[in-house]
Every structure is written in C-alpha cells, then in structure tokens.
Amino acid sequence: MKKVVIGMSGGVDSSVAAYLLKEQGYEVVGLFMRNWDTSINNDILGNPYLNNDICTQEQDYNDALKVCEELNIPLHRINFVKEYWDYVFTYFLDELKRGRTPNPDIMCNKYIKFDSFVKEAIKLGADYIATGHYAIIENGKLLRGIDNNKDQTYFLSQLSNKQLENVLFPVGNLEKHEVREIATKMHLNTAEKKDSTGICFIGERNFKEFLSNYLPHQPGKIVNIENNEILGVHVGLMYYTIGQRKGLEIGGSAEKIYVVGKNLKDNILYVANGEDNEYLFSDQALIEDVNWISKEHPLKCSAKFRYRQQDQAVELEYIDDKHIMVKYNRGKSVTPGQACVFYLGDECLGGGTIKEIYKDNTKLWYL
C-alpha cells in the first residue's frame, strides 16, 4: 500500500482530499504545518507585538485533528516558524519596503509546502505528498482545476518540475460545491467551515495596525496625478497597491478615486479619478525571476497578472533565462511585485514577478 502524507490545514478542502485518498486505497498520514508564532517572531524581530495574537492556527489544528480522528488517520504537527520567517515573511516585508505588492502565498508554496513540508513527509516514509489545492497534474503537466473560481495554479507557478513529482491534488477535478457536499455526507466537522482569506499571520487583524509593528508609518502626500492637487495624507506607501480604492484618507470627493502610482523618492502616493482612468492601464510589463514548469516556451499565450483577473492574451519577448518582456492590450492595474503567470489553454506554463510596467514605451508607476 502506497503512503500519502497530506497537508492538513483545518479547512474543508484538505479534509475532503484526505477522505478521497483513503477511499482510493492509500495509507494516509496527515501533517499540520505551524508557520506563525507571535512570541517567537517578536524575539527574532526584537520588537514585541503587544496586541493579542488572534491568528486562527490553534483552531485550525484542532479542526484538522478532529477530521483525522473521524477518518481514523494519524496527524503529525511540524513547526516551520523559522522557515516561514526566513523565506516568506522577510520577503513580504522587503517587497513592501520597495513599494511593491508581494504575493506571500506563492513563496509559501515554493519554500514551505513543497520544500520543507516534503522533507518532513519523506521522513515519514511518504511515496506521495498531497494538498487540497484546486489543480490537476496530468502527464507531467500542471493544469487548472475544474472549478474556474477556485483554480489555484496561479499560486503554484514558482514550483519546479521536480517539486511537482509525486504530488497529488485530490480535489482538482471537483467543483467547490461538490467538495462541501462530500464533507457534509461524511459528517466532517469542516463541512461548513468558512474558507480562509488573506494571509495567515495577519488573520482577522487590521492590516495597517498589524504591519505598523514591523514597518513604522511613513506619512506622505496623496496627489492627484492629473492636476498635481494635494488631496490628503497617506500613512505609508507600503499600505497601498495599484488599482486600490478603499482605505484612502481622502474626504469630500464625489468621484471614485484609485491609486495609480507611487513615488518612493518623494514618498508620494498618486491617485486619479474613475475606474477606467487611463493612468490605470499599461501595455507592457518586464517580468523577472521567470520560472518554467512546462517545456513549452511559446511566443504567444495568455497570462494572469493577478489571481482574480481574467486571462489576457500576451506576446512574449525573451530577454534572457530569467527576464521576459510581456506585451498586451490595455492591462488594468498591473502591479510591480505581483505574479505574472503564463497559460497555454488549461496548462500553467510557469510565471515570474512583475518588475516594471510600461505604456507607449514609457515606464510607469514611478517606482
């Protein structure tokens, strides 16, 4: 009997994935990853976080434990707090300091879930590892999950072919409602548990309040880029992303105002009126740290510049092994620091990080 070590998050997706694996005849072992500890991380930082730690990890562990008891499979708990700090949270802070919008979930997959986790799974004698990701592996290719609204290949785009060997995604061929139906039918305690959103170490905290413990506020001007009018004061460029509307400290405006750029040198946040304002659009992006999962390196394909955005037709100009200039038609809110992920039909080819944005051959966003 082949042994599968599955990452148990305490959510419904990994719960049903574990059930399906057991039904398929595998010897299933659960492994819960503890990635955040407020007291330990404050010791590393040397700056105590005084508010109560309200991260839901302990509840998640208890939910995972109960599911494993219901399925009669063992659950191990492993501490990746230091690894998470070194490879995910440090990256997160560094990107924010640069004025960029990071994607820690992608780094967590690359360095924790499909690296540190795999090493521990091997110690437990795993023939395969599994997660509750909505994705499919077929003939060595990484394909989108059946459920378009839940497909998570975007977050797997920095993995290598090696990391995807001997990996199982049991819920990739299911719609989300089917996953919940299975959980309800099997009376799993996570059947109606709300999906987690945001970043685990932030949880339900106020983002600005949490982040201020690591990156002090740096107030500066909010300026309308169209007429150079000063509209207000921001608390720090790291709290804002291109295309953002909510959370701007601006009063009395009858129009919708969006973030369109940042000036790090002068600490200015640029905004403009209207969701279709031309300052929100670009037509080229320089992509760095490109990682290829597929052997296919096409000249034309589609790309996602953010997880929830629709695919966009793109043309690729290869600069070197790690840099590509991506050309497209009126891309909205394409943002430095975010991932650009390439697709050929349903196959996820790989991706990289957006470094620079251009419109009419002029660099944008003033980073």
Q: Concatenate the DSSP letters of all residues of 141-203 into one string.
A: EEEE-S-TTT--GGGGTT--TTTTTTEE-TTTTS-HHHHHHHHHHTT-TTTTPPPP-S-TTTT
Q: Was domain 217-273 assigned CATH 2.30.30.280?
A: yes
Residue 146 CA to residue 150 CA, distance in Å, equals 8
Computed on alpha carbons and rounded to an integer, the radius of gyration of the chain in Å comes to: 22
The pLDDT score that the predictor gives to residue 226 is: 93
The pLDDT score that the predictor gives to residue 202 is: 62
The pLDDT score that the predictor gives to residue 48 is: 43
pLDDT tens digits along 262-294: 999 999 999 999 999 999 999 999 999 999 999
Which residue numbers in the chain have pLDDT < 70? 38-55, 198, 200-205, 251-254, 366-367
- Structure pTM? 0.92
> Whose CA is closest to 156, among 206, 112, 96, 190?
112
Q: Identify the active-site residue in 200, 301, 340, 348.
A: 200
Q: Identify the active-site residue in 55, 68, 108, 301.
A: 108
The pLDDT score that the predictor gives to residue 55 is: 54
The pLDDT score that the predictor gives to residue 203 is: 60
Q: Was domain 280-363 assigned CATH 3.90.1150.10?
A: no
Residue 21 CA to residue 17 CA, distance in Å, equals 6
The pLDDT score that the predictor gives to residue 253 is: 60
The pLDDT score that the predictor gives to residue 37 is: 74
The pLDDT score that the predictor gives to residue 366 is: 60
Q: Reply yes or no on whether 108 is catalytic.
A: yes
Fold (CATH) for 3-185: Rossmann fold (3.40.50)
**Domain spans, the chain:** 3-185, 217-273, 280-363
Residue 102 CA to residue 335 CA, distance in Å, equals 10
